[in-house]
Amino acid sequence: MENYDFVIIGGGPAGIGFLLQISKDFRNILLLEEKRIGGEIFYAHKITNFPAFNEIDGKTICFRFKNQVKKFKSNIKFEKVLEIECYKNFVLVETEKNQYKSKYCIVATGRKEKILKKYSKLDLKNRYDSIKGENICIIGGGEVALDQSLTLFEQGKIITIISSGNFNKVNMELLKSVKRVARKIYIFSKIIDLQKVNEKYRITFQNKEKIYTKFFDDIILSIGSIKNLPKLKNRNERIYFCGSVKSKKLKQGSISFADGVKLAMKLSIKLKGVRNENGF
CA distances (Å), 62 to each of 31, 131, 253, in order? 16, 21, 11
Q: Could you read off the pLDDT of 255-277 as tens digits, one per residue? A: 999 999 999 999 999 888 755 54
Helices 143-154 and 172-181 pack at an angle, to 10 degrees, of 40
Distance of CA 120 to the CA centre of its chain: 21
Identify the residue with better confidence: 92 or 113.
92
Q: Cβ contacts of residue 214 below 8 Å, gap of 6+?
A: 137, 160, 202, 203
Residues above pLDDT 90, as percent of the chain: 67
Q: What is the pLDDT of residue 274?
A: 58
Q: Could you read off the pLDDT of 6-62 as tens digits, one per residue? A: 999 999 999 999 999 999 999 999 999 999 999 989 988 888 888 788 888 999 999
Q: What is the pLDDT of residue 275?
A: 56
In the chain, the amino acid numbered 253 is G
pLDDT above 60 for 279? no
Closest of 245, 242, 13, 209 to residue 110, by C-alpha: 245
In the chain, the amino acid numbered 97 is K
What is the average pLDDT across 73-95? Answer: 95
Name residue 194's beta-bridge partners. Answer: 203
Residue 99 CB coordination number (10 Å): 13
Domains of the chain, first to last: 2-112+226-277 (3.50.50.60), 115-223 (3.50.50.60)
Q: Could you read off the pLDDT of 133-147 as tens digits, one per residue? A: 999 999 998 888 999
Strands (E), 59-122: 76-77, 81-86, 91-95, 99-107, 111-113
Q: How confident is the model at residue 280 (pLDDT cuts 50, 70, 90)?
A: very low
pLDDT above 60 for 85? yes
- Compute the mean pLDDT over every residue in the chain, rounded to the nearest whole number: 91
Q: Could you read off the pLDDT of 184-224 as tens digits, one per residue? A: 999 999 999 999 999 999 999 999 899 999 999 999 999 88
Name residue 207's beta-bridge partners. Answer: 189, 210
Query: How many helices and strands, by DSSP H and E, does the chain display?
Result: 5, 17
